[in-house]
Structure 1
């Protein structure tokens, strides 16, 4: 991406964006042909330039799911940089962005669980509850990640959300995901025992067979 393109995204200059398109109508197509690329949409989402980001999504929707060279999507970057409004607008465009897998198969939902940021966690679950099924390259569920990263509040939110969810798969999720075994053969309760986290036991649903 040339300097003018970078500048347009970093500054949120929509006029400059269209000047560049006028000079080179195929500029986005060439970028889209590259498997991994830090597009203008990635840059704008990281910087929180909402209007520019929305304009880019309209012009090139495929950029929203594209991974950059570090294995991050636009949603990953918006969350990493605490760009709440960017996250909201991206969700309005495509709720499925919550399930885009980046490096090590980490999704945006996995990211907010690892950081313990409860507000976006609740938002992401509300718009895309199916994302709770996604596991990492190490077969870790969101529950594994919450306990491994000592994010107890996030763990409470996740466990509390399951019985309140109206999704048709909620009962299955509660049974399967809380007894899920990661690549090391550990359930969530195994991880809690290894890390000596008794609060996890106190908040664990009694009906789950583990």
Structure 2
């Protein structure tokens, strides 16, 4: 990682991050190719730059799983960062639901189960995000996790998540029906 990007990461300078990307659009991809590396996400988290780290998680969620030279990942060592919200109120679980990244979804739920309770600025749960983005498999994983979870008040959170209305007044079922997603709608028959 070049010194400019390292400095931006340590200082929490999001504009500096985007300047680095403007200079070299593949700068983050090049870092991601290195097997063991301190990514800008690792550097920002170590410096306590939560906002910068969240921006980085949205741009390159694979950095959260990447091992640094000491063999540590952020998912194991910075659980609070995994639950933090970034742009638009999205947390990493929302992003993983949006992109359909099942591996990341499962890891986030294991590390930070309370992230299922977080809603975006549009009042969307991760299930809303998955259905709106036609990520049925991500929806199925989230729905199945809600049914199997054993954390305190799990039944309440299952019901709350499935009946929660976004800013337009839509539940996940409303969105699934409007998008003609019969498979997603059929899950509610089980519920």
Q: Report the CA distance shift for 1:154/1:106 in structure 2 as closer, same or farther (over 3 A).
A: same
1:56 is displaced (CA, Å) by 3.0
1:56 counterpart = 2:43: yes
Structure 2 Cα separation of the partners of residues 4 and 122 of structure 1: 32
1:5 counterpart = 2:3: yes
Deviations 1:22-79 (A, max 9, x none): xxxxx78x925x686539xx97798235432497368x4312x1237xxx43332331
Are the equivalent residues in 1 in contact too, given 2:42–2:74 (CA < 8 A)?
A: no
Are the equivalent residues in 2 in contact too, given 1:78–1:86 (CA < 8 A)?
A: no
Q: Report the CA distance shift for 1:205/1:90 in structure 2 as closer, same or farther (over 3 A).
A: farther
Relative to the length of structure 1, the TM-score reads 0.71
* Larger CA Rg, structure 1 vs 2: 1
Structure 2 Cα separation of the partners of residues 198 and 149 of structure 1: 15
Q: Which sections of structure 2, spanning at least 5 residues, go unmatched?
A: 22-26
Deviations 1:110-162 (A, max 9, x none): 01100111111101100100000111111011111111111000010011001
Higher mean alpha-carbon deviation, 95-104 vs 121-130, is at 95-104
1:135 counterpart = 2:135: no
Deviations 1:154-205 (A, max 9, x none): 0100110012112113111111110001100111111111111111121226
Relative to the length of structure 2, the TM-score reads 0.77
Matches within 5 A, 1:1-210: 5-6=3-4, 9=6, 31-32=11-12, 38=17, 47-48=31-32, 50-53=36-39, 56=43, 60-63=46-49, 65-67=50-52, 72-79=54-61, 82-83=62-63, 85-86=65-66, 89-204=73-188, 206-207=190-191
Q: 2:97 is paired with a residue of what secondary structure? A: helix
Are the equivalent residues in 1 in contact too, given 2:93–2:105 (CA < 8 A)?
A: yes
Paired residues, number = 177
Are the equivalent residues in 2 in contact too, given 1:45–1:75 (CA < 8 A)?
A: no
Once superposed, what is the RMSD of the aligned Cα atoms? Answer: 3.3
